[in-house]
Structure 1
Amino acid sequence: MSQRVNQIAGHLNYPKGMLAGQVAIITGSGQGIGAEAARLFANEGAKVVIADVDAKKAEDVASSINSSGGSAIAVAGDVLNDDYIKTLISKTAEFGNGKIHIIVNNAGYTWDGVIHKMTDKQWHTIVDLHGTAPFKIVRAAAPYFRVKDGEPRCIINISSTSGLHGNAGQINYSLAKAGVTGLTKTIAKEWGPQFGVRSNTVAFGHILTRLTAAKEAGAFVTTPDGEKVALGIPGAQKQASAGAKQEFPDIPLGRPGTATEAASAVLAVASPLFSYVNGQTISVTGGRNM
């Protein structure tokens, strides 16, 4: 299966320079889909701000882009911190000579639990991370988007099939990701008519990231107060899926997507190829939940 994935991912080619001259913030871009999106954006000529809670990972991605001839800076911090959001916007505007063109609200993780065992802390952390933080980032960036200079501007909010269809054990994540679609559509309706800002949602299905790896692998994130949150899918659940006649029976393409494929969809939405697409939710799922 991995060989097939690599073959497909290796044939993702685009004409170069689609984002030339644009300045983009991508949150959660120290690794995974966010990092891949940052590299793809830079390859298309964008100046990219790597926003991530992990300073070293953010710096590593920025360095790799710069060493490859692109342009990037790392602005590390926690999107749950209001002061960080102000810093992120101000440093991006400085980097972009007073302009910001693209925001990709990608940062996030899951903190699962069944309804009757979900704690208030789990609930509020995930809802704030996936719903409130993107709103605050967009609000802080308003002066750079509510302008009439003839340059393209777009906001891409990342959602999930959990937000579109719900998912057992993810009531907090499902509500937050469902709310993203309302956030997206409201931005499109408020900032589209006068300022030409496009706002769209990209909803991912099963993508190969640390959130879908085996939980036993030990990946975790640390909350602002120091609590460790384990990431991934329990091994028993993954084994049950592997025991089926088809490894991924709910995905018509028969496999999960790669981070590069997911990031390529984000690039497509940000690009001029989607210049007349606004207020939409684009599902990137391999056909899952079609």
Structure 2
Amino acid sequence: MSAAPRTNFPNGMLAGQTAIITGAAQGIGAETAAILAHEGCKVVIADIDAGKAEKTAQAIISEGGSAIAVGGDITNNESIDKLIQQTVEFSNGKIHIIINNAGYAWDDPVEKIGDKQWEQDTIIALHNTAPFKLVRAAAPYFMVKDGEPRSIVNISSTSGIHGNAGQASYALAKAGLVGLTKTLAQEWGPEYGVRANTVAFGAIKTRLTQAPAEESFVIRADGTKHAVGFHGGYDEEEKWVGDIPLRRIGSPTDAGRAILAVVSPLFSYVTGQRSSLGSQNSGSNNRKVSGGRGGM
């Protein structure tokens, strides 16, 4: 038996790589960006809120990391083109990692979901069409044979695995990401060595899963604000942890570390897979439908 190689990365596990992270101005995306930057990765903070994206990038830079912010609506073709262009300029012509993280839920029971709420410029467009278009635009930087690692991570949800009352559009969209991921693994893996995986989050405490507050909102493609959170939220932790084996709600740091693991050399032989975090045994968040509030 040959000696096992040491897992020693003096410059970080992702040294020399560049990652695009969508929805990275705050929450899981921002924490993931900081964690990847700490491992030597250049990170591109992509978000519709350009101001917050810039603050996140500057915070990473102040800690010794390398980051830029690119504001724009990821459901817009021109924004995707700008994102790719600025990333390539920042990274000297290479993209190694894409993390499709941008998203939110718009909850309602099936009989009350309107067409716009279902797909037009919102849930399906943001969670399915935008990741597809971003990956398609980045294809020239992934379909290469330069011996460097390439990885795509699509952020899903346990709602896309088990379903969740009040989240028909969100559950469909998040389930669809799994199919896209597996297809990418099969198409770009054999010849180019690209890995593609899905990480599905359940009980993670972010502004999307806390009690609604005045400052808790996402910006839609049309510039309007959409309130997020749900009544009680995960702030009332004792109500939610009974079916979670670790008996606690996950944090953005927990989520970011999981994403790091998936894109790191430690997962170099893992592709086409789905990892779940914070999933309850019941397979449901058991939330009351609040009619328009978002949530993970």
TM-score, shorter chain, exceeding 0.5: yes
1:196 aligned to 2:200?
A: no
Give the conservation status (yes or no) of the 8 Å contact 1:256–1:286.
no
Decide which moves more: 58-67 or 176-185.
58-67
Matches within 5 A, 1:1-290: 17-124=12-119, 125-216=122-213, 219-235=216-232, 247-285=240-278, 288=281
Query: For the structure 1 residues 126 and 70, does the alpha-carbon distance in structure 2 shift closer, same or farther, using more than 3 Å as the test?
Result: same
- The RMSD of aligned alpha carbons is 1.8
Moved more, 211-220 or 271-280: 211-220
CA distance in 2, matches of 1:26, 1:261: 17
Residue deviations 1:102-128, cap 9 Å, x none? 000001111111100001111111011
Question: Given that residues 148 and 195 in structure 1 are in contact (C-alpha distance below 8 angstroms), is that contact kept between their aligned partners in structure 2?
Answer: yes
Per-residue Cα deviation, 1:55-113 (whole angstroms, up to 9, x for no partner): 11111111111111111111111101110000101111111111000000001111111
Unaligned runs of 5+ in 1: 1-13
The one-letter amino acid of 1:138's match is V
Distance 1:218 1:64, change over 3 A: closer
Whether contact under 8 Å (2:98, 2:151) holds in the other structure is: yes
Alpha-carbon deviation of 1:227?
3.4
Other structure's SS at 1:173 match: helix
Alignment length, in residue pairs?
273
AA aligned opposite 1:274 = F
2:209 touches 2:234 (CA, 8 Å); kept in 1? no
Higher helix share: 1
Task: State how far apart, in whole Å, the 2-side matches of 1:194 and 1:280 are.
Answer: 18
What's the counterpart of residue 5 of structure 1?
Answer: none
User: 8 Å contact 1:205–1:285 — kept in the other structure?
Assistant: yes
Q: What percent of counterpart residues are identical? A: 62
Distance 1:217 1:252, change over 3 A: farther
Deviations 1:142-181 (A, max 9, x none): 0000000000000000000000110000000000000000
| Cα distance in 2 between the residues matched to 1:289 and 1:96 | 44
Q: Which runs of 5+ in 2 are unaligned?
A: 1-8, 284-296
- Amino acid of the structure 1 residue aligned with 2:79: Y
What is the TM-score when the length of structure 2 is the normalising length? Answer: 0.88
State the Cα deviation string for residues 165-224 of structure 1 (Å, max 9, x = none): 100000000000000000000000000000000000000011010110002455112322
Alignment partner of 2:64: what SS? coil
